[in-house]
Amino acid sequence: MKSYEEVYNIVKNELSEKRFIHSENVAQRCVIFAKLNGVDVEKARLVGIAHDIAKEIPKADRIRISLENNIKLDDIEKENTNLIHAKLGAKLCRDRFGFTDDMCKAIEAHTTAKPNMSLLDKILYLADYCEPNRAFDTVNTIFELGKKNLNSAYYTALVGKIIYTLNKGIKLHIDSINAYNSLIDNKLEG
């Protein structure tokens, strides 16, 4: 697997400055959440810096490159090609950086979430949602909550993102609905 320094330099060279700063912020948040939850800090830092590596692939190329990489896309991903960078990013991180399965899964789930998220999955999802440059009022409250209770902050982030999607008037991805429903099931059981 490539070192953090190597991945950092590649991300810096290939992404816009704005997206690179976002990635650096996410990596920093990932480290904080990983330390507090006994998760491998190096893995968390790497998924943080690399998670959006495929985000700036032009819209017109996203479906074609996915097919070339044997990535199966569902109808909603074909319709909303912004979603594709999660699966494609995971594949690129595996092939180019040698990321392990657990790391690739976290990158794959960072946009939509999914049921049964691992700690690393939740850490990346939450760090991406509450990095300091995000322009919504409660970003810091969610970050602070995340330091105290990762699960509770993850739930808040998931609901926030679902409401944001509804307000935009676009379709929800089935993985987000399933993620939400599984949390409700677990709450009812608990």
Q: Which amino acid appears at position 169 of this protein?
A: G
| Angle in degrees, CA 99, 124, 151, rounded to 5 | 130
In this structure, are residues 106 and 47 in contact, taking their beta carbons and an 8 Å threshold? Answer: yes
46, 79, 169, 188 from 8: Cα distances, Å: 8, 31, 35, 42
Q: Minimum distance between the CB of residue 134 and Fe ion, rounded to whole angstroms?
A: 10
Q: How many residues bind Fe ion (CB under 5 A)?
A: 2
Whichever of 52 and 108 has its CB closer to Fe ion, that residue is 52
List the interface residues with Fe ion, window 49-78 (CB under 5 A).
52
Residues 128-147, one symbol each (x = binds Fe ion by CB under 5 A, - = not), give x-------------------
Whichever of 27 and 183 has its CB closer to Fe ion, that residue is 27
**Does an H or E element contain 160, and which?**
helix 150-168
Whichever of 128 and 175 has its CB closer to Fe ion, that residue is 128
121 near Fe ion, rule: CB under 5 A: no
Q: Which stretch binds Fe ion (CB under 5 A): 63-71, 72-80, 126-134, 144-152?
A: 126-134
In this structure, are residues 30 and 124 in contact, taking their beta carbons and an 8 Å threshold? Answer: yes
| Angle in degrees, CA 24, 28, 29, rounded to 5 | 120
Q: Minimum distance between the CB of residue 35 and Fe ion, rounded to whole angstroms?
A: 21
Site for Fe ion, rule CB under 5 A: 52, 128
